[in-house]
Amino acid sequence: MGGQACVFYGAAQFSKDVDFLVLASDANFAELHKALAELEAVRIAVPGFDPDQLARGHAVHYRCRAADVEGLRIDLMTRLRDLPGFDTLWQRRTTITDEEGREFHLLSVPDLVQAKKTQREKDWSAISALVEGHHHAFRLQPTPERIAFWLNESRTPERLVELVVRFPDEADDIRPTRPLLAHAISRDLPALRAALDAEARAEQEKDRAYWAPLKREIEVFRRAERKS
3-state secondary structure of 20: strand
Q: What is the pLDDT of residue 109?
A: 98
| In the chain, where the domains are located | 3-108, 116-209
How many other C-beta atoms lie within 10 A of the C-beta of residue 179?
11
Per-residue pLDDT of the chain (228 residues; tens, 9 = 90+): 988 999 999 887 677 799 999 999 999 999 999 999 999 999 999 999 999 999 999 999 999 999 999 999 999 999 999 999 999 999 999 999 999 999 999 999 999 999 999 999 999 999 999 999 999 999 999 999 999 999 999 999 999 999 999 999 999 999 999 999 999 999 999 999 999 999 999 999 999 999 999 999 999 999 998 888
Contact (Cβ atoms closer than 8 angstroms) between residue 133 and residue 13: no
Polymer length of the chain? 228
Q: What is the pLDDT of residue 15?
A: 72
Rounded distance, CA 184 to CA 104, Å? 37
User: In the 8-state DSSP scheme, what is residue 181?
Assistant: H
Contact (Cβ atoms closer than 8 angstroms) between residue 93 and residue 107: yes
Rounded distance, CA 37 to CA 33, Å? 6
Q: What is the pLDDT of residue 58?
A: 96
Are β-strands 73-77 and 94-97 bridged in parallel, bridged antiparallel, or unpaired?
unpaired
pTM beyond 0.85: yes
How far separated are the first and last CA of the chain, in Å rounded? 33
